[in-house]
Structure 1
Amino acid sequence: MQRSAPRPSRSRTRTRVRMLACAAVPVMIVAAGCSSDSDGGGDADKPAATASKAAPKVAPAKFTTLPADPCKSIAAKTITDLVPKAKDKSGSAGKSSDITTRGSCSWNGLDDNGVKGSQYRWLDISLMRYDSEEGLGSGQDRAADYYKKEVAKARATQGAKGMKAAPAAGVGTEATAVTYSVTKTGESFGYATVVARSENVVITLTYNGAGYAGAKSPAASDLVKGATKATKEAVAAVPAATE
């Protein structure tokens, strides 16, 4: 009589099923991975979501240069009116390593009338131009920052008395006139400083004077009127230099 092979126990059957199931899992995972790469729709074919966008460019500066001779930015007749006995009517230009971005000039003189008294006048002007630069900002914004600093500087003059500041209408993009007096060498000097911004250029003009030998010092209203007139001429000279 033939004997039939013994049947495996239930425990052995369960063990074999578990082994076959575990062996099949890695195969399924690999197959799934291959199918996702082969359909052409994977993330590898998409542009990076974090790709940086091009940074916006700053606005170009309006004025690209300054008057070649800052002393000529104010009319000769205006100089004669404001500084009647100027030592050098053509003015004394300041040194600059780059005349397209920075320039200055000054005039001074004493109108001596003997026993009737004398009048001393001083006028100086400085021009500063800013270019637009990535990382620093537009020339207009940089000039606006410098404009504020120049106004603050004028208002912080040491020993100043009767300080007043007010907008100077009709001068460039924005302008401020600062008036005050300072006592020097026993005399009271009147000052008028006009700070004006024309787009990316800032002009700072100071006009001061004093009376000697009993002569009266100039009134603040006269000083600011003359300083404003000269500043307007300087503002108008900037676009003429760029054209």
Structure 2
Amino acid sequence: MHRSAPRLTRILACAAVPVMLVVAGCSSDSDSTGDKSGSTDASAQSPSAASSPQPAAKPTPSVAPAKYTKLPDACKAITGETVEDLVPEVKNEKGTPGKSSDVDSRGSCAWNGLDDNGVKGSQYRWLDISLLRYESDPSLGSGEQRAQANYTKEVAKVKATEGATSIKTSPAAGVGNESTAVSYGLKKTGEDFKYAAIVTRTENVLITVSYNGAGYAGAKTPTPSDLMDDAVTASKEAVAAVAAANK
């Protein structure tokens, strides 16, 4: 009887307090492992203990590198011999370069001359070339794909020349990877000018050669076919110049 006295005293003391206090304070005979498991559950549900799922990394798209990484000097893309042949009495055989902030991506050059024979008539010629290089870009495609997409646009741009008449297009065989010849007429300075333009794609580079002329003071107007033959010659030289600049 004397050994159970302390336990009986505790039971009577707990009976004299509110139920909530009994639950909180009268637990000396309960198993302490329950409290430990409770604290473990709480920590397991803690935001700091739970790991947040990480978003999967998006793979970086890859494209083939551009074959050509630079352009030749546009004024040297057509040989001096061809310039003299196509543009008689050329004013500046070295050509007049166009402005470019990035000569490895774009360039242009132009030549003109007047073979003046007085009352016997005169022949005027203008030759120009433009070069556009496209770099590979993961978000835009490879350099070749970009050049292919813009090739059609360049042809359309030539065909849309303001005031152009009698527009004709045809493939220019044997020039670059793909090439289109565009011929048309244009009235300027009171004379009928004939134009021959060739748009060429060679890998990731676009080349546009434009050659035109007129006869003054009764001189014979050049034929579109003659102009086109000369434009093809200039275009082939430009294609070769691009390849040589990247060796």
**Common fold: TM-score over 0.5:** yes
Indicate the residue corresponding to 1:128 in structure 2: 132
Pairwise CA distance, 1:126 = 0.5
The alignment status of 1:188 with 2:173, answered yes or no, reads: no
Q: Is the 8 A contact 2:173 2:179 kept in 1?
A: yes
**Match for residue 206 of structure 1 among 201, 210, 214:** 210
2-structure distance, mates of 1:237, 1:184: 32
For normalisation by structure 2, the TM-score amounts to: 0.77
Pairwise CA distance, 1:173 = 0.7
Say which one has the larger Rg.
Answer: 2
Report the AA paired with residue 163 of structure 2. G
Pairwise CA distance, 1:116 = 1.1
The alignment status of 1:75 with 2:79, answered yes or no, reads: yes
Report the AA paired with residue 164 of structure 2. A
In structure 2, stretches of 5+ residues that fail to align are: 1-40, 42-50
Pairwise CA distance, 1:54 = 2.4
Indicate the residue corresponding to 2:236 in structure 1: 232
Q: Is the 8 A contact 2:61 2:138 kept in 1?
A: no
1-structure distance, mates of 2:156, 2:105: 22
2-structure distance, mates of 1:54, 1:153: 37
1-structure distance, mates of 2:206, 2:170: 17
Deviations 1:105-135 (A, max 9, x none): 0000100011110000000000010100111
Report the AA paired with residue 211 of structure 1. G
RMSD: 2.2
The alignment status of 1:156 with 2:160, answered yes or no, reads: yes
Indicate the residue corresponding to 2:69 in structure 1: 64
Segments of 4+ moved more than 6 angstroms: none
2-structure distance, mates of 1:236, 1:222: 22
Indicate the residue corresponding to 1:178 in structure 2: 182
Secondary structure of residue in 1 paired with 2:69: coil
For normalisation by structure 1, the TM-score amounts to: 0.78
Secondary structure of residue in 2 paired with 1:229: helix
Secondary structure of residue in 2 paired with 1:176: strand
Pairwise CA distance, 1:210 = 0.2
Pairwise CA distance, 1:51 = 3.9
* Matching of residues 68-147 of structure 1 within 5 Å: 69-147=73-151
Pairwise CA distance, 1:52 = 5.4
Sequence identity (%): 62
2-structure distance, mates of 1:117, 1:131: 47
Aligned length: 202
